[in-house]
Amino acid sequence: MARAVNTSRKSLNTAIAATLGLIMFFPVLWILILSFKSEIDAVRSPWQVLTAGWTMESYGAVQERSDYFKHFMNSVTISLGSTFLGLLIAIPAAWAMAFVPAKRTKDVLMWMLSTKMLPPVGVLVPIYLIFRNLGILDTRSGLVIVLMLMNLPIIIWMLYTYFREIPGEILEAARMDGASLREEVLYVLTPMAIPGMASTVLLNIILSWNEAFWTLNLTAAQAAPLTAFIASYSSPEGLFYAKLSAASIMAIAPILIMGWFSQKQLVRGLTFGAVK
């Protein structure tokens, strides 16, 4: 009897989870459907949209109007560059906070995290002026820097959490064997934190890829990523729903595919140290 109740509860939980998953995924599914419709059909009622004919003309129009590959490469460069630069800074910082005793480590971590609570628009004007004066406005390097700074608190927090799970005795043994600080970080600490570092990299690539505020305000044409590519289909003449949907699918498809194939690694890294 207990087993039957347990099975029923599992079935109910599965049904609830599937329903919530469908609700969360439905906007993406509807955008996918609209991308295969004509502009006339895309503004009709939902039933008329579903029964209308399917066409690839929106994808063809998007490809003719915009240089998708250029925007795609900008997104790849900015996402990977900001994540890699963030790791170079975050690994030593997280190591120092995790293994060098300090009274105010948690206060520093909370201060860093509090910077994420500041509305980006509050610092837009000074950052815009700094970038203009330095000549890095509308450049990939400029976006790499600003996205790295934006995600750096998250990178340090995640790495700090993973590093704290590594026994300090292992590092002490490496020091006794004559390992230098550089060798300790590169050959002892980093390999042991690979699952956590992998999830950190994946999460920050996703955050950088989806960032819209800074990419729309600090770029014009040369360094515009896929977020700007999508925004270009909102014009004073109105919204072209079918073309906007096609552009959105082309922009989110790479990151969705990457997230799908790396979901196990992402979940494993995010739950690292949660169960002892």
pLDDT at 146 exceeding the cut of 50: yes
> Would residue 267 count as lying in a domain?
no
Whether residue 106 is found in the same domain as residue 203: yes
- For residues 171 and 210, membership in a common domain is answered with yes
How many residues belong to the chain? 276
- Predicted model pTM: 0.81
Dihedral over alpha carbons 105, 107, 108, 110 (to 10 degrees): 120
Q: What gap in Å lies between CA 185 and CA 190, rounded to an integer?
A: 6
Domain assignment present for 272: no
Question: For the chain, what is the domain count?
Answer: 2
- Looking at the structure, tell me whether residues 177 and 148 fall in a common domain: yes
pLDDT over threshold 70, residue 237: no
Q: Are residues 81 and 141 in the same domain?
A: yes
* Contacts of residue 262, Cβ cutoff 8 Å, sequence gap at least 6: 202
- Calculate the CA 102 to chain-centre distance: 31
DSSP bridge partners of 234: 239
d(CA 217, CA 119): 14
What's the domain range around 53? Answer: 2-58
Look up residue 275 and give its two tokens.
Answer: 């169960």
Q: What is the pLDDT of residues 70-87, one digit of tens each?
A: 899 999 999 999 999 999
- Under the banding of pLDDT at 50, 70 and 90, the label for residue 239 is low
Same domain for 26 and 94, yes or no, is no
* Pair (154, 211) in one structural domain: yes
Mean pLDDT, residues 177-196: 78
Backbone angles phi, psi at 129, to 5 degrees: -65, -40
Q: For the chain, list the strands marked E by DSSP.
A: 234-235, 238-239
Which of 41-45, 152-156, 170-174, 179-183 ranks highest by mean pLDDT?
A: 152-156
Same domain, 152 and 101: yes
The tens digit of pLDDT for each residue in 126-141 reads 999 999 999 888 899 9
The pLDDT assigned to 176 comes to 81
